[in-house]
Amino acid sequence: MTERLGPADIARAATLLRAGELVGFPTETVYGLGADARNGRAVAGVFEAKGRPHFNPLICHFASAEAAFAQVEADDRARALAAAFWPGPLTLVLPRRDGCEVDLLAGAGLDTLAVRVPAHPVALALIAAMDGPVAAPSANRSGGVSPTTAAHVLAGLDGRIAAVIDGGACPVGVESTVLDLSGGAVLLRHGGVTVEAIEAVIGRVGRPLPITAAEASCSLRSPGMMLSHYAPGLPVRLGAVEVSADEGLLAFGAPLAGAGAVFQLSEASDVREAAARLFAGLRALDAMPGLTGIAVMPVPEAGLGAAINDRLTRAAAPR
Ligand code: TXA
Ligand code: MG
């Protein structure tokens, strides 16, 4: 049985983490499944609870840039980005320092580590109370839709984790942007901080080549780039300009007529609002009886639209 905790129960949650247990907690992006990153058994438990392939490394969460940079080697680019965007939805991949406390399994054995300082008060309080790095992937079964409420976490992981802290809905709604700075700056995942905003601080950032289904099934620089990911149970169809009565419509702006059910991402065509509602929308339509698929209206690429379209492309990819 998974304990239901609230924001007032930080001490209890930290005690569980220190004992090697797993705790779901809110961040500004999505809910994370936290474990003490120094404890190999706890980290192994994360992979087990999620059914996550062991080659896919976890992000380590810290209460401050100083704490993060004690574990990884930060250069001027990393420091400038931390100053600009932390706490916030940006993850930096940097070389592990000698004596790095984070268990090797958390980084899937790589000589780099993904680090970030989240902007959610509950997450920051939990990390401070545990007094160490918290390894946390999104708190969903591997390959599925990321959770943006505590109820979403329980839908996938009830009984498999010690506790979840209910801190309400996540304000950003898509995961952090992942930027590899272990060599030339390369974007590994679109997310809550736009590439344009990053380039305004450190200059040109490399974009990964679009990946093919063949590449998606084997080892990658960032396994989260796997093509089929964020997938609901129903098939997903993108760029819908008409919709049928047996489909659920994920609407953006004035909805198409004729759908069996409609979930509005943003009536006002606001990509920020749509990002915050994206995963809840996929889950809501997926749970609706009688539908045979989900049709998605086009979302512009601007701003957070890049992250939304990235997640939707993977949700629609061949499984
Ligand atoms: O917003 C987020 O980032 C959320 C919240 C909980 O912080 N976390 C999250 O974690 O999305 P996860 O595990 O679902 O995604 C982590 C991504 C994966 O794509 C993984 O492959 C990549 O980061 N990653 C982690 N460590 C890496 C490393 N050393 N090198 C390259 N990619 C790495
Ligand atoms: Mg994930």
**Cα 32 to ligand 2 centre (Å):** 9
Instruction: Give the C-alpha separation, 263 to 284, whole Å.
Output: 8
Q: State the ligand closest to the CA atom of 60.
A: 1
Chain centroid offset of residue 73 CA: 23
Question: CB-side exposure of 101: number of CA atoms within 13 Å?
Answer: 18
Instruction: Give the C-alpha separation, 76 to 178, whole Å.
Output: 17
Q: Give me the domains of the chain, ranges plus CATH numbers.
A: 3-226 (3.90.870.10), 236-316 (3.40.50.11030)
- What pLDDT was estimated at residue 225? 57
Ion ligand 2 — residues with CB < 5 Å: 138
Mean pLDDT by 10 residues, the chain (319 residues): 97 98 98 97 95 89 98 98 98 97 93 98 98 97 95 98 98 98 96 97 86 46 62 95 98 98 98 97 96 98 94 89
Instruction: Give the C-alpha separation, 256 to 269, whole Å.
Output: 14
Strand partners of residue 113: 94
- What pLDDT was estimated at residue 217? 44
* Residue in the block written with tokens 């909805």: 255
Which of 178, 182, 278, 311 to probe ligand 1 with, by most ligand atoms within 8 A of CB? 178
Tokens of 240: 């819908």
Secondary structure class of 59 (helix, strand, coil): strand
- What pLDDT was estimated at residue 207? 86
Question: CB-side exposure of 144: number of CA atoms within 13 Å?
Answer: 19
For the chain, how many residues are written? 319
- What pLDDT was estimated at residue 214? 47
Question: Does residue 117 contact residue 62 with C-beta atoms inside 8 Å?
Answer: yes
Strand partners of residue 296: 250
Question: How confident is the model over 212-270, as pLDDT tens digits?
Answer: 444 444 444 454 556 677 889 999 999 999 999 999 999 999 999 999 999 999 999 99
Strand partners of residue 25: 32
